[in-house]
Structure 1
Amino acid sequence: MDTQTAGGPSSLGARIQHRRQALGLSTTEVAGRTGLTTDRIEHIETRPFALTGAELVRLAHALDVSVDDLTSAKPPAAPHQPPLAPVLQPMRRNECLVLIESGSVGRIAYAGADEVVVIPVNYACRDGLIVFRTAADSAVAQYDLAPIAFELDHFDEGMQDGWSVLVNGTVRPATDEETAAVHHLVTPWAGGTREAHMVIEPNRITGRRIRSW
């Protein structure tokens, strides 16, 4: 399934370890998400191994990547069984940041004139800040250090699980430097003239996921 050196880790094991560490997860936490033992996870990351298709699918799912992201040789997926006891798990801040940085579309929520407004936005991250574009005459463009919430999520109806990340903070106009740094990275799907760059400065970042195994 993957090339390996005698007595040493395989390239697949190294990729699994790198992704786990990027999410700030311990081997014990990954074991809990996959139903494998901690010893098995450590063996996969550090020594030669042979993975079953079911193990590879569970590892990819636990690390929020596709099987193709872990290996170019796609094994047969294990048949999905309905969850017996779904578990709601909090996510660490570092894990939330990785998911935010790898995304491009989220939702913002703020207090409008008469009601709470929730709209999707294209965004980019820069130095821990979330930057999005809007019309200069929009309500949120008039905000300066006003409270705002940003939400990002992913759900798999087939697997009956997913995750969501919530950022609470304030919003302000981007500086010229911030605008220049992300302008080419943020292209609003809605089109039109949306040249006002706004920055969300996080005060609190939380996340949670529901697991079907």
Structure 2
Amino acid sequence: MDTRSAAAATSGLGSRIQHRRLALGLSTAEVAERTGLSARRIEHIETRPFVLTGAELVQLAHALDSTVDDLTGPHTPFGVRRAPLTPVLQPMRRDECLALVEAADVGRIAYRGADELVVIPVNYCYHDNLILFRTAADSAVAQYDLEPIAFELDSFDEGMHDGWSVLINGKVRPATDLESDAAYGRVEPWAGGRRDTCLAIEPHQITGRRIRSW
């Protein structure tokens, strides 16, 4: 089961959802209203192969006065609890971590400020084995030349109890002209304003962990 979705092919999830809806005397339109999904989506889930996100699964469980465990587990009478999901924490290989870093564009940086630790989100790009981001010239991190810094990104599916996180430890420095050109072309800070100073994080350690629930 991946971190974003659950396949309907597992143990007739669609038929269990339909069975529970009918047992409650609800129409597809009523379930749609309870979940915020469309009636067509509910009908598709019940009758055809589909991919269900964790958020949709949680919404359906609530709408059907059930639980995620009851909907996804072996076919047992509703109200009879099965064993809970068993989480497994797995380390990730460096290449797996870098693939996730390359695919995303928002992470968090952590560094020591004047009086305390600071953690802030940043837009970034991964270029030539570096994390590149843009900031204001007068920001605290822009003055933080050649000091230790951490960069982190993660993704979680609360419905499926799955997720992953990647942590990069290294040092931050001003970007070179070529690196700045790459950052200007690929990084657009959401915060807006003048963010003309480009910084580069040179990684010295890259680690990651993944949680899978079975």
Query: How many Å apart are 1:184 and its aligned residue?
Result: 1.8
Q: Which amino acid aligns with 1:133?
A: R
Q: Deviations over 1:98-118 (max 9, x none)?
A: 000000000000000000000
| 1:54–1:77 contact (8 Å) kept in structure 2 | no
* 2:9 equivalent among 30, 42, 53: 53
TM-score with structure 2 setting the length? 0.64
Cα deviation digits, residues 38-89 of structure 1 (max 9, x gap): xxxxxxxxxxxxx98349xxxxxxxxxxxxxxxxxx9324754485311000
Q: Are the equivalent residues in 2 in contact too, given 1:80–1:159 (CA < 8 A)?
A: no
SS in 1 for 2:101: helix
Which portions of structure 1, spanning 4 or more consecutive aligned residues, are displaced by more than 4 angstroms? none
Q: Deviations over 1:145-203 (max 9, x none)?
A: 10000000000011111000000000000000111122121000000000100000000
Instruction: Give the unaligned 5+ runs of structure 2.
Output: 12-47, 53-70, 74-82
- The residue that corresponds to 1:143 in the other structure is 144
| Count of residues paired in the alignment | 147
The AA in structure 2 aligned to 1:177 is L
- The equivalent of 1:14 in structure 2 is none
Partner of 1:183: 184
Q: Find the aligned partners of 2:84 and 2:90 in 1 and give their Cα distance.
A: 15
SS at match of 1:138: coil
- Sort the Cα spacing of 1:52 and 1:110 in 2 relative to 1 into closer, same or farther, 3 A: closer
1:158 corresponds in structure 2 to 159
* AA partner of residue 178 (structure 2): E
Bigger radius of gyration: 2
Aligned counterparts, 1:1-213, within 5 A: 53-54=9-10, 75-77=49-51, 80-81=72-73, 83-213=84-214
| Contact 2:8–2:51 (Cα < 8 Å) also in 1 | no
Report percent identity of matched pairs.
66
Aligned partners of 2:164 and 2:138: how far apart in 1? 33
